[in-house]
Each structure stands twice: as structure tokens, then as C-alpha cells.
């Protein structure tokens, strides 16, 4: 595959900007990094994130967008600015990888999807669990009917955040539901499609005095066979270990817990999952451990294959728009 000339716009304190740029650096046979831009005062706001960019050329956003040799642009600003810069890149005809889940404006996201579809360019988002080998295996087997008709999906993504991150969550509607719950909503929609209705229930744990951002998220998604739910908490001790996905069908159920765990030197991960078909008190399940994997390198290599025309993006603009709309509903 030919190398993809790429540049990154933005980074952030709590999302994946540094890790994504690191993945580009680790794939010199796939990407030619032209440079990066730091809009919205990011150099001053995020000094801890600057080391990752050392040795690469700093450009302006305008220079990146005007350079016709740059095929692909990575949009990794803070979430509130994502659609703003993705729209600029789309209007410049660039292929786009954008941090999840999008900006705060539905109309802007709709415009973005319209331009991308008109251009015929790649739009790829940073939902890293799409590249988790255990999750991909389970979703494939569910769609093949291995556990019959799906009755419900339970998806959780929890952690324990400090006061700095919890305060920052007030930037978003729904707080944790927008920030991390979006990953779980994506999994539910991949399995069950668009829900008939959404009932959100997002609240504050009030762990820190004067901070009332919604760090406890919960949403029920209604389907013909019943209800599925998404839970996300920034106030849960041992929350990383209880990130899980349970898919219940008429012939059995799959459980993944945790969704990922450290496997030696970060960022290698592995995942435990099983298929249960037992009744009564006997589950009849054996746990399987996935191979070690890196969160970001497979994601970015896949993006490069899409840009090079060697792979079709399975997540269409219509799907991404449905997902974004559902996330906003889950965030009230």
C-alpha cells in the first residue's frame, strides 16, 4: 500500500489526540506525517501533551487545508471543536479521521455528513472498540444468529475520574454519556440498530464540592423485544474492570468483561469473553482471552486502507448520523 500523507489538527487533555499521533508515528510504512496544528490555544492549555509532537513540523490549520498533497487530516481537538474543524477539512476535500463523537451541534454534523457524501471521501471516527478483537468477534457471531434473536444488550464503560476531569465534563450535555457513553451506544446500535425510543437518566455523584457535572450516565434504549441499556460512570472504584458488554439472545448470551485490560506494557490489551447457553444456576460458559492488541494502530491502519481505496468503510455516513442523533438523545 502506498503511504498516506497526513496531518493532525488538534489534541486534548482527556481524549485520544496524543495516542493517535503516536500511532501515526509508529506506522512509518503507512503514513507520511507532514505536520500538525494546535488551534484554540492548545499549546498553552495542554502543555503535558506537547512532547508527543516534538520533531515534527508545526503548521497552521490553513496551511494544512491548502496543501493539496495532504490527503488525510486527523481531527483531534477537544470535543466541542471537532465538527468545526472536520467541516473545514471536508470543504477542502480531505479524507477525515475524527475523534468521537462529534461536536455539540446536530445541524453542523448533518452538514458534515452531507459534504462527505457529496465528496465521496472517507469519514472515519475514533470508536476504538470497533477494533477490539473480542468485541468484533462477538458482534459477528451475534449477527450470524449464533445466540438467536437478540433480546437485550447491556453496555457499561466506567472509571474513576478526579476533580479536573469531572469539572471538564460540564462542557458537554450529558457529561459522561457524551464523553464515554458514546462508545457503548455505538455497540448497542451496531447490534440492534436504531432504537424506537430513548429514556435518558444522567446525574451528578456530587463527589466534589461545587461540581455538579453529570458524571453518572444511564440511558434505556427501547426495541421491539424489550429494552437495552447503556451505563457510564466517572465515579466508580474499580470501574475499568467492570467495563462490559452482555448480549442476550433467545438461544444464549455473550458476555465480555472487561472490555479490555492491560497486558504487560501499555498500550497492549487483551479481553475476556464467553458464550453462555446454560439454564438455571449453571451458566455453561467458558472464558476465552483475546490476543494482545493495540487500541490505536489497527484503527489508523484501517483508515489508511480506506483512504488508499483498498478497503470500504463499513460505517456509512448514514450510520454515523444515526449514532450521533442517538447519542444526543441519550444525553437529553
Residue pLDDT, tens place only, 99-125:
999 999 999 999 999 999 999 999 999
The predicted pLDDT at position 282 comes to 67
| Strands (E) located in the chain | 4-9, 31-37, 72-75, 95-98, 123-125, 150-158, 197-200, 216-223, 226-233, 244-249, 252-256, 261-262, 268-270, 272-276, 288-289, 293-294
pLDDT at 281 over 80: no
Cα torsion angle, 27, 31, 32, 36, sign: negative
Residues in the chain: 332
Lowest mean pLDDT among 25-34, 244-253, 277-286: 277-286
Those residues with Cβ within 8 angstroms of residue 194's Cβ, 6 or more apart along the chain or in another chain: 322, 326
185 vs 153, 171, 302, CA distance in Å? Answer: 10, 20, 22
pLDDT (average), residues 281-299? 86
pLDDT at 57 over 70: yes
Q: Over the stretch 162-201, which tens digit does the pLDDT of each residue have? A: 999 999 999 998 999 999 999 999 999 999 999 999 999 9
Domain boundaries, given as residue ranges, for the chain:
4-127+297-312, 133-259+261-294
Q: What is the CATH code for 4-127+297-312?
A: 3.40.50.720
Q: How far apart are CA 27 and CA 325, in angstroms?
A: 34
What is the pTM assigned to this prediction? 0.96
Q: How far apart are CA 93 and CA 116, in angstroms?
A: 8
93 DSSP β-pair partners: none
97 vs 49, 74, 121, 306, CA distance in Å? Answer: 19, 5, 11, 11
Fold of 133-259+261-294: Dihydrodipicolinate Reductase; domain 2 (3.30.360)
pLDDT at 263 over 80: no
Amino acid at each position: 500500500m502506498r503511504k498516506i500523507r497526513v496531518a493532525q489538527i488538534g489534541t486534548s487533555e482527556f481524549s485520544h489526540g496524543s495516542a493517535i499521533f503516536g500511532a501515526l508515528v509508529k506506522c512509518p510504512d503507512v503514513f507520511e506525517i507532514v505536520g500538525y496544528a494546535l488551534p484554540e490555544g492548545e499549546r498553552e492549555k495542554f502543555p503535558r501533551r506537547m512532547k508527543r509532537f516534538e520533531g515534527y513540523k508545526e503548521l497552521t490549520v490553513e496551511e494544512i487545508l491548502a496543501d493539496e498533497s495532504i490527503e488525510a487530516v486527523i481531527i483531534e481537538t477537544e470535543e466541542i471543536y471537532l465538527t468545526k474543524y472536520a467541516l473545514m477539512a471536508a470543504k477542502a476535500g480531505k479524507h477525515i479521521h475524527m475523534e468521537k463523537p462529534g461536536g455539540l451541534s446536530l445541524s453542523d454534523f448533518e452538514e458534515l455528513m452531507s459534504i462527505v457524501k457529496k465528496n465521496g471521501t472517507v469519514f472515519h471516527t475514533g470508536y476504538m472498540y470497533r477494533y477490539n478483537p473480542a468485541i468484533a468477534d462477538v458482534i459477528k457471531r451475534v449477527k450470524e444468529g449464533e445466540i438467536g434473536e437478540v433480546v437485550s444488550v447491556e453496555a457499561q464503560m466506567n472509571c474513576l475520574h478526579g476533580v479536573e476531569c469531572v469539572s471538564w465534563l460540564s462542557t458537554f450535555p450529558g457529561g459522561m454519556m457524551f464523553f464515554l457513553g458514546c462508545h457503548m451506544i455505538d455497540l448497542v446500535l451496531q447490534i440492534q440498530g436504531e432504537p424506537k425510543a430513548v429514556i435518558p437518566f444522567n446525574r451528578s455523584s456530587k463527589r466534589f464540592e461545587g461540581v455538579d457535572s453529570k458524571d453518572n450516565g444511564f440511558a434505556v434504549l427501547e426495541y421491539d423485544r424489550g429494552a437495552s441499556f447503556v451505563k457510564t460512570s466517572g465515579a466508580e472504584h474499580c470501574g475499568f474492570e467492570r467495563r462490559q458488554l452482555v448480549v442476550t439472545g433467545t438461544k444464549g448470551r455473550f458476555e465480555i468483561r472487561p472490555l479490555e485490560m492491560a497486558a504487560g506494557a501499555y498500550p497492549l490489551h487483551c479481553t475476556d469473553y464467553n458464550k453462555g447457553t446454560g439454564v438455571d444456576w449453571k451458566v455453561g460458559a467458558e472464558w476465552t482471552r483475546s490476543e494482545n492488541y493495540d487500541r490505536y494502530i489497527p484503527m489508523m491502519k484501517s483508515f489508511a486502507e480506506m483512504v488508499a481505496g483498498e478497503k470500504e468503510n463499513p460505517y456509512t455516513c448514514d450510520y454515523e448520523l444515526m449514532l450521533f442523533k442517538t447519542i444526543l438523545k441519550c444525553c437529553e
